[in-house]
Amino acid sequence: MRKRDQQLTIIAFLAPAVILYAIFFLFPMAQAFYIALFRWRGLSTNKEFVGLQNFRTLLLEDPIFWKALSHNLVFLGISLPVVLIVGLFVSYALSRKVWGASMYRAVYLFPNMISVVAVAVLWSFVYNMQFGLLNSFLKAIGLERYATGWLGEPSTALPAVVVVSIWYSLGFYIVLFLAGMQSIPTSFYEAAAIDGATHWQSFRHVTIPLLWEILKLGVIYLVIHTLNIFGLVYVITCGQCGPNYHTETMLTYLYRLAFTESNYGYATALGVVAFLLILGFALISLRLMKREAVEF
């Protein structure tokens, strides 16, 4: 087959996917950028062109946006080390042929099998001030003075939601890392053992380098998940986002602007900024974790 025919065949196979991607992803994105340039309440056909005013107000005059962004960064700053360290530790332990490993995998993955709404409702009961499991436990062990309204106090509302977010997502990363570790040939570990390597040395010099691409993928997932978090926060705080916006995130703020205050143009500008922030953090993460891939 001539080279020109090969190129036409490749174009013919790729064209449907590229067209669908343009229709369902690129076009809505371009439309969002366009709407962000207007003052629009979402129902009227009349839109007032304001240029970059929505972006200027959002970035320079809106303290709630910066508060929401700081909460997203708290989610990211706590979730990233906790999920990576605990996920790697548990998955490494399970990969060592621990008794009941299959059962543990199912247990760790269980939170991901249920809806995020169900998780939020479940934990809202756990945190309930009057009959919640957490306060009941503290009272049972004599720590009644620490019992509080976990989702209603400014000092505990955000950490309480971050704990639930980690609990919900941890199982996915354990299974992801475990799948990567089980694909590493045992001969590498046997060679390390013959050389006198300890478990820690095998983990550091064999597991981590061979797992690096999956670790990179896990970090990107975490960045996107924590900066995009919405449903869990919204449901567990009943849409109030804590006292004085103490659990407000970028997307809960966007939802409130668009569907409660009917400020679609401004909310779309927030969506555009959130997209650019997520893209920037993802690219920075890829850049920081760039290293030569180890093939095996």
The pLDDT tens digits of the residues spanning 183-237 come to 888 888 888 888 888 888 888 888 888 999 999 999 999 999 999 999 999 998 8
Query: 217 vs 26, 38, 116, CA distance in Å?
Result: 23, 37, 22
Percentage of the chain modeled with pLDDT above 90: 40
Instruction: Work out the pLDDT band at 274, boundaries 50, 70, 90.
Output: very high
Q: Output 205 or 240, whichever has higher pLDDT.
A: 205
Q: What is the pLDDT of residue 144?
A: 85
Instruction: Work out the pLDDT band at 295, boundaries 50, 70, 90.
Output: low
* Residue among 292, 273, 294 nearest 72 (CA): 273
Q: What is the pLDDT of residue 283?
A: 92
- For residues 40-49, average pLDDT: 82
Full-model pTM: 0.85
Q: How far apart are CA 146 and CA 77, in angstroms?
A: 25
**pLDDT of 175 over the 90 cut:** no
Q: What is the pLDDT of residue 198?
A: 87
Q: How far apart are CA 185 and CA 196, in angstroms?
A: 18
Report pLDDT digits (tens) over 114-164. 888 999 999 999 998 888 899 999 999 988 888 888 888 888 999 999 999
Instruction: Work out the pLDDT band at 10, boundaries 50, 70, 90.
Output: confident
Q: How far apart are CA 177 and CA 213, in angstroms?
A: 10
**pLDDT of 253 over the 90 cut:** yes
**pLDDT of 292 over the 70 cut:** no
Q: What is the pLDDT of residue 67?
A: 93
Instruction: DSSP letter for 257, please.
Output: I
Kindly report the CA angle at 173 between 123 and 183, in degrees rounded to 5? 155
Report pLDDT digits (tens) over 72-86. 999 999 999 999 999
**pLDDT of 246 over the 80 cut:** yes
